[in-house]
Amino acid sequence: MFPGFLIGFRETLEAALIVGIVVGYLRHTNRGASIPSVWRAVGLAVIASAGGAWLFASFLGGFEGTKEEWFEGVLMLTGAALITSAVLNLIHHFRSRREVELKVESTLTCAGITGLSVLVFLSVLREGVESVLFLSAANMVVPDEHRVGALFGIAGALLIGWALFRGLIRLNLKYFFTVTSLLLVFFAAGLTAHGIHELQEAGALPVLTREAWNINPTLRPDGTYPLMHDNGMVGSVLNGVFGYNGNPSYAEVIAYAGYLIALSFVWRRVLPSRARASEAV
């Protein structure tokens, strides 16, 4: 459930901050009459995201056997790539309030309220599509109530977003997004390793398939999983969040470690530019 909460919370908060800044700027510049158009764009983006989620779930249910393993492996690797792109994009182009306001003013000047509505629609839709893909990939790693966690995350993000713009709380968004980005990085590393596993199961990567180690505890006499087994109560949580696997293949270990090493190198190159960015709120 925690991966779902993290994804829903982060993606929704990012969208809520953008929408909140747009609405606040319109009010500050005496353009309140344009605000309903912004909310209509948000509503359409939410409906489009929900429709996309339904279509994706219907499409996903049509695979079986090797085709299903292929699809799951590709989806996991795609999800890891998109998470990585989203994290690095946010770090490198951290959205300050002023940056969003300048974008709003530029859009209004060039394309009017219609252009601004399209901008808001695409911004919210992007977060919605990313959430659908990330949650689908998470559910393939560890079948769980990720949707329930996502709903709690969405509700929490909306509440915090509202409180921020009402001035009821203050939140250092720079550190918030740094912490959540780190969690998502480990989640993406786990998706990468699990994607490799699925492709090996499908026969697409018949190399380095031997177990690197096996530290899974022995099943209980009644056939249930111990807590730290990667299918157990604690192990499954670590599996879903950090990619923990009690018996990975050599290829999975190399993929997991290689992803973290490569991203840490890129992170050190882009993080200084983020440090120069201003606060979002």
pLDDT tens-place string over residues 5-20: 888 888 888 888 888 8
Q: What pLDDT does residue 189 have?
A: 93
Q: How far apart are CA 16 and CA 162, in angstroms?
A: 8
Q: Residues 280, 90: contact at Cβ < 8 Å? A: no
Q: How far apart are CA 40 and CA 265, in angstroms?
A: 42
Q: What pLDDT does residue 95 have?
A: 55
* pLDDT class of 279 with cuts at 50, 70, 90: very low
pTM of this prediction exceeds 0.85 = no
Q: Residues 171, 281: contact at Cβ < 8 Å? A: yes
From residue 258, how far is each of 32, 207, 211, 262, 270 by CA, in Å? 50, 16, 17, 6, 19
Residue 109 backbone zone (phi > 0: left; psi -120 to 50: alpha; other: beta): alpha
Most confident of 95-109, 117-131, 157-171: 117-131
Q: How far apart are CA 77 and CA 89, in angstroms?
A: 18
Residue that the structure tokens 């192990």 belong to: 235
Q: What pLDDT does residue 71 have?
A: 84
Q: How far apart are CA 124 and CA 17, in angstroms?
A: 10
CB contact set of 183 (below 8 Å; sequence gap of 6+): 6, 241
Longest dimension (CA), the chain: 71
Q: Which of 53, 45, 42, 59 is nearest to 132 (CA)?
A: 53
Inform me whether the pLDDT recorded for 246 exceeds 60.
Answer: yes
- Which two three-digit tokens encode residue 2? 């925690």
- Cα angle vertex 132, ends 184, 152, to 5°? 70
Q: What pLDDT does residue 212 have?
A: 92
CB contact set of 240 (below 8 Å; sequence gap of 6+): 2, 3, 138, 141, 142, 144, 187, 190
Amino acid code (one letter) for 136:
S
Q: What pLDDT does residue 41 have?
A: 93
Q: How far apart are CA 85 and CA 15, in angstroms?
A: 17
Q: Sort 80 into a burial class: Cβ within 10 Å, 0-12 / 13-18 / 19+.
A: buried
H helix intervals, the chain: 2-28, 35-60, 65-92, 97-141, 146-165, 173-201, 233-242, 250-275
Dihedral pair phi/psi, residue 249, rounded to 5°? -80, 165
